[in-house]
Amino acid sequence: MAAVAGERPPYWVAARLTATARQQWPTFDGWCASRNVDPLALDIDRFCNLIYFWLTQNVDERRRREIDTQLERVPPGEDPVEDSTWSAEAEMAAFTAAARTSGSVG
């Protein structure tokens, strides 16, 4: 992913990762449970890293690059430079709302 140690990926990468986990929640959550990991107990950056690992763990380099390209594609109307107004708190609020919508959080 585009994130560098100590930096967060653009919000759209986090949104795409969480959307992927939500769309495949029973499989993803079961995979996490089989490893004794509660994905909803993780900070958003760790949660995104977990989803990314889950998506890429068994793929070849070509497919991993394709996944990276899809995740990092700048949405229409967005500046390719990360929006500095998107705070960690806003990311967490978006994640919590997505998790509630999926029924994962009460």
Residue 81: inside a domain? no
Whether 102 contacts 22, CB under 8 Å: yes
Residue 59: inside a domain? yes
Total count of domains within the chain: 1
* Structure token digits, residue 102: 């999926």
Whether 71 contacts 18, CB under 8 Å: no
Q: Is the pLDDT of residue 88 over 70?
A: no
Query: pTM of the entire structure?
Result: 0.66
Residue 1: inside a domain? no
Reported as a single tens digit per residue, the pLDDT across 17-59 is: 999 999 999 999 999 999 999 999 999 989 999 999 999 999 9
CA dist 102 and 106 (Å) reads 10
CA dist 103 and 98 (Å) reads 9
Q: Which domain holds residue 49?
A: 11-73
Residue 27: inside a domain? yes
Residue 46: inside a domain? yes
Residue 49: inside a domain? yes
Residue 2 pLDDT: 43
Residue 41: inside a domain? yes
Number of C-beta neighbours around residue 1 at 10 A: 16
Residue 100: inside a domain? no
